[in-house]
Amino acid sequence: MKESYLADLHRRHGALLDPEVLVAKGEAFLADCDLDRHDESGMLRYVKERYGLEHAFTFQPTKFTAGVVIPSEGAERKNGADAQEWRGSF
């Protein structure tokens, strides 16, 4: 799936995030443990220890955004999707 045309299309528009890539780049933390997800202090302790952090905190997002990719007029079809330039907001 990661190498599919659909995945590539979304990746080019910033609409596909790979957690493993984000962790490798230091842009995300992964809590791959057996702790109860409702145990906030335990999760924070685990993440701090795993990544050597002095401080860590949780947050609840209050705003969500979404975007739509719309094919440009006259774009050729390839693999069931438009192959030429796409315009959208992501």
Confidence (pLDDT) at 78: 53
| pLDDT over threshold 60, residue 9 | yes
Domains identified in the chain, total number: 1
- 14 or 48: which carries more pLDDT confidence? 48
User: DSSP assignment of 9-22, as one string?
Assistant: HHHHTT----HHHH
Write out pLDDT tens, residues 62-71: 887 777 766 6
Domain that holds residue 14: 5-88
Confidence (pLDDT) at 18: 85
Beta-carbon contacts of residue 22 (< 8 Å; ≥ 6 apart): 28
- 35 or 77: which carries more pLDDT confidence? 35
Give the pLDDT band (50/70/90) at residue 86. Answer: very low
11 — alpha (psi -120 to 50), left (phi > 0) or beta?
alpha
Q: pTM of the predicted model, to two decimals?
A: 0.55
